[in-house]
């Protein structure tokens, strides 16, 4: 056992004395040491219940003959961090989480791990760590929040942000906003739509790193506790059979993840995280394959914010495995991939029935014949941009309009709420990329303000930043190269005409190459004074089209 390095032999007597200080018995030290990576904290709603999940995992490990030992991982609540300097510290935690988990696991020589994440960067960060460490690992998340109820309808966090925009437009009273505030987020858990946290938890199932239901069983259901116990037991089976993350997270597994991503209509953040996780697993994902996969993958789900169904309903309809089984009817998945169950994808999804064709459309009656995410290119985004096509109004799939240019999110929000943005405009927010932000902030506030003011089907937003999974509309992010790196988005001027054609994957500025070259010659990059971790991050981070991974030294 790996843990023998800290438990066995005369040279390890000092180590054993420290285990004695922990109150560990000789019997416990004879068993495999299993690290329980708990993301519990008291500031993130998706993590406030993880103490109960962790205790259930520990029980499962102990029942199966292991010695569970818990240590922490950090997590940021993107909702609380939204709209201020805190959002600069969201994406950057993904690498902190991966690095710190690597440190803890190797410093203490754990034999296996159970990862307990739940929120946006916490899930991919721990998946990156799992791929990097490559010791037997199972994931079990804290689970999704139940949908809220306002004025007789189900709702979620995205409606809460849009309510603020409606108030600014004079459509809502303060009492209306208060009603949303009190009832949009009714339980613990990751926010109830197909936002980034739930997208990544669902894709963890698809990758084969989580048990069935990991992405969809609500946080408040007792089944979530049972799932956690089974995860603890299963990691011991993986240890016995020496099944490791890189046996599971293969190129085929990532193609499966992209396929299900398209069918579910996941957050555009998955286009940042899947390449970063794959990189740690020794697999390179070029975003060009996203359009290739999307072209043959029907969009089967319109979960909030794209529609009016929520993760709890996806769970009741059969969950991620039911979606996968629909896709498999047209042989769209690699079914021979190994998973944490010790079985293949094909064995796992066999017989998983779609119980609600209104929530999961049958494969022969999809919302669209193509997937929920599109990668765009053109002279405005030579290296790519990303849009959640399934959340775009049909009339905005093709659009031309004048650029309204802002060098930061705050200026754009002021203009939107001040009534300075009108139907037909294309809002451009730049210097918000991985380096330029730094930290690549999410633009949920401006997209929600646009939607709340009734402009969601007539105004587009383009940024080198990114979007929350809660954003909807023609929200095009991850523009690469970013402005801070001299990408063409830096040279857009007020009133330039921008042409968007999502169906044909194009994003173009209707300005000649000669004019762009002249603007570039006279360009001076805007620099932001940053220090501490953000300064180190900005120095090392790569472009969004590469997954915003950190350069290897």
Query: Residue 21's Cα: distance from chain center in Å?
Result: 39
Q: Is 11 helix (H, G, I), strand (E, B) or coil?
A: helix
Q: What is the 3-state secondary structure (H, E, C) of 193-253?
A: CCCHHHHHHHHHHHHCCECCCCCCCCCCCHHHHHHHHHHHHHHHHHHHHCCCHHHHCCHHH
For residue 80, CA distances in Å to 75, 157, 199, 422, 442 come to 12, 11, 19, 29, 12
- Which residues does 364 contact at the CB level (< 8 Å), separation at least 6? none
DSSP 281-347: TT----THHHHHHHHH--B---BTTSSSB-HHHHHHTTHHHHHHHHHHTTT-S-TT-B-TTSSBHHH
135 neighbors 113 (Cβ within 8 angstroms): yes
3 state DSSP class of 37: strand
Pairing mode, strands 398-406 and 426-429: parallel
* Bridge pairing between strands 506-509 and 137-139: unpaired
Catalytic residue among 3, 468, 471, 480: 468
Alpha helix (H) residue ranges in 71-195: 78-81, 93-107, 122-133, 157-168, 174-183
Cα–Cα distance list, 32 to 38, 239, 246, 447, 491 (Å): 18, 9, 21, 49, 58
Q: How many alpha carbons lie under 13 Å from residue 373 in its C-beta half-sphere?
A: 32
- What's the residue count for the chain? 553
Cα-based angle 436, 437, 438 (whole degrees, multiple of 5):
90
Strand partners, 405: 428
**Dist. CA 38–CA 116, nearest whole Å:** 5
15 backbone dihedrals φ, ψ, rounded to 5°: -65, -45
Q: What residue has token string 């799932």?
A: 227
How far, in Å, are 172, 220, 459, 469 from residue 58 at the CA level?
48, 19, 50, 32
Catalytic residue at 270?
A: no
CA atoms 70, 78, 472, 503: torsion sign: negative
Report yes or no: 446 and 478 within 8 Å, Cβ to Cβ: no
Catalytic residue positions, numbered: 468
């Amino acid at each position: 056992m790996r843990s023998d390095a800290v438990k066995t032999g005369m040279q390890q007597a000092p180590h054993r004395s420290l285990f004695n200080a922990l109150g560990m018995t000789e019997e416990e030290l004879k068993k495999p040491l299993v690290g329980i990576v708990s993301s519990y904290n008291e500031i993130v709603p998706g993590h406030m219940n993880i103490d109960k999940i962790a205790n259930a995992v520990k029980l499962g490990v102990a029942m199966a003959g292991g010695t569970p030992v818990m240590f922490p991982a950090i997590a940021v609540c993107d909702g609380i961090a939204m709209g201020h300097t805190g959002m600069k510290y969201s994406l950057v935690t993904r690498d902190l989480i991966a690095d710190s988990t690597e440190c803890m696991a190797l410093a203490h020589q754990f034999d296996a791990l159970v990862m307990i994440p739940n929120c946006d960067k916490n899930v991919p960060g721990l998946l990156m760590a799992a791929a990097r460490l490559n010791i037997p690992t199972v994931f079990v998340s804290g689970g999704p929040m139940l949908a809220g109820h306002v004025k007789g309808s189900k709702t979620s966090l995205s409606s809460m942000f849009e309510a603020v925009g409606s108030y600014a437009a004079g459509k809502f009273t303060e009492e209306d906003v208060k009603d949303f505030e009190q009832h949009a987020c009714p339980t613990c858990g990751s926010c109830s739509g197909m936002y980034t946290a739930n997208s990544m938890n669902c894709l963890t199932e698809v990758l084969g790193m989580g048990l069935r239901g990991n992405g969809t069983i609500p946080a408040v259901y007792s089944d979530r506790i049972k799932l956690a116990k089974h995860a603890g037991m299963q990691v011991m089976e993986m240890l016995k059979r020496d099944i490791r993350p890189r046996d599971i997270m293969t190129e085929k597994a990532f193609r499966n993840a992209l396929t299900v991503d398209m069918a579910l209509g996941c957050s555009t953040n998955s286009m940042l995280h899947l390449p970063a996780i794959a990189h740690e697993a020794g697999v390179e994902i070029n975003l060009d394959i996203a359009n290739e996969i999307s072209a043959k993958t029907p969009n089967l789900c319109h979960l909030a914010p794209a529609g009016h169904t929520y993760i709890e309903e996806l769970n009741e309809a059969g969950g991620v495995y039911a979606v996968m089984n629909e896709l498999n009817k047209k042989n769209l998945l690699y079914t021979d991939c190994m998973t944490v169950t010790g079985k293949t994808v094909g064995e796992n999804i066999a017989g998983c029935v779609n119980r609600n064709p209104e929530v999961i459309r049958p494969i022969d009656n999809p919302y669209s014949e193509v997937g929920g995410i599109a990668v765009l290119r053109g002279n405005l985004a030579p290296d790519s941009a990303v849009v959640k096509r399934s959340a775009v109004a049909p009339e905005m799939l093709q659009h031309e309009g004048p650029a309204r240019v802002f060098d930061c999110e705050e200026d754009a929000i002021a203009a939107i709420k001040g009534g300075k943005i009108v139907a037909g405009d294309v809002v451009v927010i730049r210097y918000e990329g991985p380096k330029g932000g730094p930290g690549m902030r999410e633009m949920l506030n401006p997209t929600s303000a646009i939607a709340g003011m009734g402009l969601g089907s007539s105004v587009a937003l383009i940024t080198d930043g990114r979007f929350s999974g809660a954003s909807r509309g023609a929200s095009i992010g991850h523009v690469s190269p970013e402005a801070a790196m001299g990408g063409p988005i830096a040279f857009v001027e007020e009133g330039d005409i921008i042409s968007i054609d999502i169906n044909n994957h194009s994003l173009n500025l209707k300005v000649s190459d000669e004019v762009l070259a002249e603007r570039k010659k006279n360009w001076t990059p805007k620099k932001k004074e940053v220090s501490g971790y953000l300064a180190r991050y900005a120095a090392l981070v790569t472009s969004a089209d590469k997954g915003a991974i950190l350069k290897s030294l």
